[in-house]
Amino acid sequence: MRLTALFTAVAGLAVAGGSVYVARDYLAVATAEPVVETESQTVPVIVASRDIGFGEIIEPQMLTSIDWPRDAVPEGVYTSASLLVPANGQEPRRARRIISQGDPLRFATISEFGEKVTIVQTLSPNTRAMAIKVSAETAVGGFVTPGDRVDVVLTQNSGDGLSAVTILQNIRVIGVDQDANELNETPGIARTVTVEVTAEQGQRLALAQGAGRLSLTLRSLDDNDAVALRSTRLSDLLYETAPVVEEEAAPQRPVIRVRRGNELTETLVN
């Protein structure tokens, strides 16, 4: 009987002790601060580590990563350089536009792997590329480069004589011969200049090329205004108004007047 009572007492103590440990662990878990995973406030964005020209192959040394505020990340940017660098045996990506150092690389400015990049991809919406035959004299001595803006002047010999008229203003040059790289600042003597025009401007340009000689005038970087201009004829340059010369009055000569009765005679004195 005594052994049964002793066994019961030991079992009760064991149950009580276990309950204390369980309750302590439960309270510890209940009072502990919850662990909250915080989202990073920045996102890695791939930018150009140097200027990248039109059509250049995208290579790892051209790229760097910067931390960009998550709520201000531009649309269509790359967040990993591995998305831009080709794998083994894969054709590279190329720049569809000129990318300046520090600018993010965007889906719209980078080709797909192995995609062909042409001058067409530099055109604005609803525009065309059209070539003009030029020479050193008509292309500002070769100082016209891709990215410049020009006016197009037509010189022709019609029934009214030689005349010149500006047919297009503020036109973007997208290529000089076979060069479309706007980062190329080296002048050269070109045979053709390719410009960006609308469909209507292209028609006017085609007619003008058949009517006479086209010349380009280079605009300054901050000059984007169109000016109302009329045709200038050669006669306008050569016409001169003859100066009006007033005839000098003849000097008056002394006069001797003699009156004899009602008769008056006058004699000029030499």
Q: What is the pLDDT of residues 204-253, one digit of tens each?
A: 999 999 888 899 888 888 877 777 777 787 777 776 555 555 656 666 66
Q: What is the dihedral of CA 46, 50, 56, 60, to 10 degrees?
A: -50
Q: How far, in Å, CA of 257 to CA of 218, rounded?
A: 78
Given a cut of 70, is residue 127 above it in pLDDT?
yes
Is the pLDDT score of 185 beyond 90? Answer: no
Q: What is the pTM of this model?
A: 0.56
Mean pLDDT, all residues of the chain: 79
Please give the pLDDT value at position 197.
94
Overall average pLDDT of the 192-208 stretch: 92
Dihedral angle, C-alpha 156, 158, 163, 166, nearest 10 °: -60
Distance between CA atoms of residues 89 and 40, nearest Å: 35
Most confident of 167-171, 175-179, 264-268: 167-171
Mean pLDDT across 134-151: 82
Q: Region 106-120: what's the mean pLDDT?
A: 87
**pLDDT of amino acid 196:** 93
How far apart CA 98 and CA 86 sit, in angstroms, is 20
C-alpha pair distances (Å), 236 with each of 49, 54, 124, 211: 56, 45, 39, 21
Determine phi and psi for 144, rounding to 5 degrees: -80, 125
Q: Using CA atoms, how far apart are residues 26 and 185, in angstroms rounded to an integer?
A: 75
- CA within 13 Å, CB half, 76: 7
Task: Quote the CA–CA distance of 235 and 240 in Å, as a whole number.
Answer: 9
Band (pLDDT 50/70/90 cuts) for residue 254 is confident
* CA pair distance 131, 150, nearest whole angstrom: 13
pLDDT at 64: 95
The SS3 assignment for 219 reads coil
Rounded Cα distance between 63 and 105, Å, is 9
Q: What's the pLDDT tens digit per position in 63-80?
A: 999 999 988 898 999 999
Least confident of 10-24, 48-62, 223-237: 10-24
For residue 22, the model assigns a pLDDT of 54
4 falls in which pLDDT band (50, 70, 90)?
low
- Token pair for residue 57? 């192959």
pLDDT for 9: 58
pLDDT of residue 106: 93
pLDDT at 245: 57
Residue type, 68: W
Tell me, what's the pLDDT at 84? 93
Which residue do the tokens 């100066």 mark? 243
- E-assigned strands of the chain? 42-48, 63-69, 128-133, 149-158, 161-176, 192-197, 213-218, 232-233, 255-260, 263-268
- Range in 12-26, 154-168, 223-237 with the lowest mean pLDDT: 12-26
Report the distance separating Cα 110 and Cα 98, nearest Å.
Answer: 10
For residue 59, the model assigns a pLDDT of 93
